[in-house]
Chains A and B, each alone.
With several copies, the nearest count.
Chain A
């Protein structure tokens, strides 16, 4: 399963719910305002580091760049472009957007 989260971890509970309901081995892709969760110093950093032990965590580079956050990414988060987004969707058997 590819989980897709597009909301800031401060503003909404989407990331929290996603991490609660994602099985080990699943992938998480952060897009749009969701990419803030991939940045150092963010409230979600501990939860993301914990999740990294059991899941692959990705963040969409164009969304990080737009927000001036490309230089603040937590080590271990893999950056992808839309190309990589498409690959992730195709590689995993199914996907879920946490709207």
Chain B
């Protein structure tokens, strides 16, 4: 199947980003395709390369980047939500790109399912 994913919360503060990541990893392992992961609301905060969690904690941003690199997953950050929260193109970690909300609607249309993770 082709799955679309929506992440509505930033890293660490809510479990949403963790849950979405574990879900996507499991879906890939089962042979499903990830049409796109769309980051909306505070979810845009998952995309900044400046994130530095403590040494003994997981690195959520790098996890997403690595997954995108290894499996060619499209990680899209909503431009309007990003501007409102101070996320700019030059801050993006590898694998992320900024685009419009149309990309979310498109993944709702093109994907067989849209799974939403949030607060």
Name the interface residues of A39-74: CB closer than 8 Å to any CB of B.
62
Q: Is A62 a contact partner of B22 (Cβ separation < 8 A)?
A: yes
CA distance A89 to B118 in the complex (A): 17
- B contact residues around A26 at 8 Å (CB): none
Size bin of chain B's contact surface = 20 to 34
Q: Is A90 a contact partner of B118 (Cβ separation < 8 A)?
A: no
CB of A21 within 8 Å of the partner chain = no
Q: Is A82 a contact partner of B23 (Cβ separation < 8 A)?
A: yes
Q: Is the interface of B mostly helix, strand, loop or mixed?
A: mixed
- B contact residues around A90 at 8 Å (CB): 1, 32, 112-113
CA distance A95 to B112 in the complex (A): 11
Residue in A closest to B118 when the chains form the complex, CB atoms: A99
CB of B80 within 8 Å of the partner chain = no
- B contact residues around A6 at 8 Å (CB): 15-16, 19, 117-118
Size bin of chain A's contact surface = 10 to 19
Contact of A95 among B19, B32, B113, B119 (CB under 8 A): B113
- A contact residues around B116 at 8 Å (CB): 4, 96-97, 99
CA distance A83 to B25 in the complex (A): 9
Contact of B27 among A81, A86, A94, A95 (CB under 8 A): A86
Residue in B closest to A82 when the chains form the complex, CB atoms: B26
10 closest residue pairs by CB, A with B: A82-B26, A97-B116, A99-B118, A86-B27, A32-B15, A82-B22, A86-B26, A83-B26, A90-B1, A89-B113
Which residues of B line the A interface, CB within 8 A?
Answer: 1, 3, 8, 15-16, 19, 22-23, 25-27, 29-30, 32, 112-119
